[in-house]
Amino acid sequence: MSSLVRLRLLPSAKCLYTQPVQVLVDGLRSSQVVTVKAGTTDDKGTLFHASAVYRAGADGGVDLGRDPSLGGSYRGVEPMGLLSSLRADVLHAKFFKIDSRKPHVVRFSVHEGEEEAGATLAEATNERRLLADGVSRQPIDEGNIRGVLFVPPGEGPFPAVLDLYTFGGGLSERRASLLANCGFMVLTLALYGHHQPKTVTKLHLDYFEEAIQFLRKQPKVMDSGVGLISLSKSGDLALSMATYLPHVKATVWINGCCSNVVMPLYYRGSQLLSGLMYDGRDLRFTESGALIIKDGLHDPLAPENQGSLIPVEQAAGHFLFVAGEDDLNWDSCLFADHLTERLRRHGKDNFEKVFYPGTGHYMEPPFGPFCPSSVHAVVGAVVAWGGEPKAHAEAEVHLWSKIQEFFRKHLVSDTASAKARL
């Protein structure tokens, strides 16, 4: 490495996962061409990397927030492009950052010339923590509930959120821990209860009711109702919870469906909703071999599928419907339009709707690797999720702020707000 070249990460090489960093290189020759690389390993041991080519200015410096990439994983000015452009060394791998106790460690390096194999000039490591100082992490195995509870530091009270982000019934702590960093008490919940069999053919709303009751009993919780945040299949679960269960005040639905999908939903021993199914005859393949399953889901509005439609007009709480316009999993924009139109027909105005152009199915907290394709837990095959990397990354940044704003608006009481200001 050159002793003259420096790679700096500002304001600090250690930060929270959702905080941007400024990547600077100095000590280069005027107009020198270099390649800046980023690499990381996820919780499953999969390697991810990205690279971008830059030309130094007259002062011998490169600033990723100012200077355009000339090639590599992306082109143009993208201050956090090396993080959002991280791709696995193997096809169809999703980035798994599941355990909040392990930081997202990204290794940056600067190399001579336009080739990644050029001589290393400088290196730096960015440690991106998922847990802020003072946030407690409590594994939960109580009754049927299987999950992890995150509680912000201080006496509270804190607005409560149930995170329904799931990996085929398993747990992911990333989104829940990051929301707790923002002042929310969050329970991330496994899709299936602790005592259910591994092969699940139906879901029970009673399990999710138990989780809501658990959250509301926490000593530091705000007595203003519970928020729900969902994605994909858990989107229809969140709609059903908001529709049939009390105390749900605010629901974030991200790229979900307007019907109960695949597995029938039961409550207190009786079936509430049938499962909307897929038809394998309408599937297509991408050049990489991933399936496009968007057109395979049966029409939820067809007469024979009325039993799967969720009567959201019965819900008392508020909704934030979020859809990526390039979602290839299913037509989430159409489903969001149906949901809002159904609410309007019943005289409801308890919703907001946001569509993001160029955005695919897996909308995550910002500054993580973009996932174009991976194994679908229900389909059991590799599917394409859609999205254009830059537009998708920009949408995730905007949505992260939107989610917090929505929850604070509908979960934080005026009394609690006044207490917080004092």
361 is a catalytic site residue: yes
Q: Is residue 109 part of a domain?
A: yes
Domain end call among 83, 102, 129: 129
327 is a catalytic site residue: yes
Q: Is residue 110 part of a domain?
A: yes
In the chain, the number of structural domains is: 2
DSSP class of 414:
H
108 and 250 both lie in a single domain: no
Strand stretches in 113-197, DSSP E: 120-129, 136-142, 145-151, 158-163, 166-167, 170-171, 185-189
184 and 203 both lie in a single domain: yes
Domain end call among 129, 150, 179: 129
Choosing from 69, 85, 230, 232, which is the catalytic residue?
232
Q: Is residue 1 part of a domain?
A: no
Which residue range forms the structural domain that includes residue 109?
Answer: 6-129
125 and 178 both lie in a single domain: no
d(CA 189, CA 196): 14
Choosing from 104, 361, 376, 410, which is the catalytic residue?
361
Q: How far is CA 43 from CA 99, 326, 329, in A?
A: 7, 28, 25
User: Minimal CA–CA distance to 367: which of 346, 386, 394, 391?
Assistant: 394
In tens digits, the chain (422 residues) has pLDDT values of 667 999 999 999 999 999 999 999 999 999 999 999 999 999 999 999 999 999 999 999 999 999 999 999 999 999 999 999 999 989 999 999 989 999 999 999 999 999 777 899 999 999 999 999 999 999 999 999 999 999 999 999 999 999 998 655 568 899 999 999 999 999 999 887 655 556 678 999 999 999 999 999 999 999 999 999 999 999 999 999 999 999 999 999 999 999 999 999 999 999 999 999 988 776 788 888 899 999 999 999 999 999 999 999 999 999 999 999 999 999 999 999 999 999 999 999 999 999 999 999 999 999 999 999 999 887 888 999 999 999 999 999 999 999 999 999 999 975 454 444 33
pLDDT given at position 284? 85
Cis (ω within 30 of 0) for the bond into 139? Answer: no
161 and 47 both lie in a single domain: no
Global pTM reads: 0.94
333 and 296 both lie in a single domain: yes
323 and 222 both lie in a single domain: yes
Domain end call among 114, 129, 144: 129
Instruction: Give the neighbor-by-neighbor strand order of the sheet with 382-384.
Output: 284-285, 291-292, 382-384, 373-375
Give 254's Cβ-side CA count (13 Å radius). 23
49 is a catalytic site residue: no
CATH number for the domain harbouring residue 262? 3.40.50.1820
CATH number for the domain harbouring residue 34? 2.60.40.2240
- Angle separating helix axes 233-244 and 205-216, nearest 10 degrees: 70
311 and 226 both lie in a single domain: yes
Q: Is residue 319 part of a domain?
A: yes
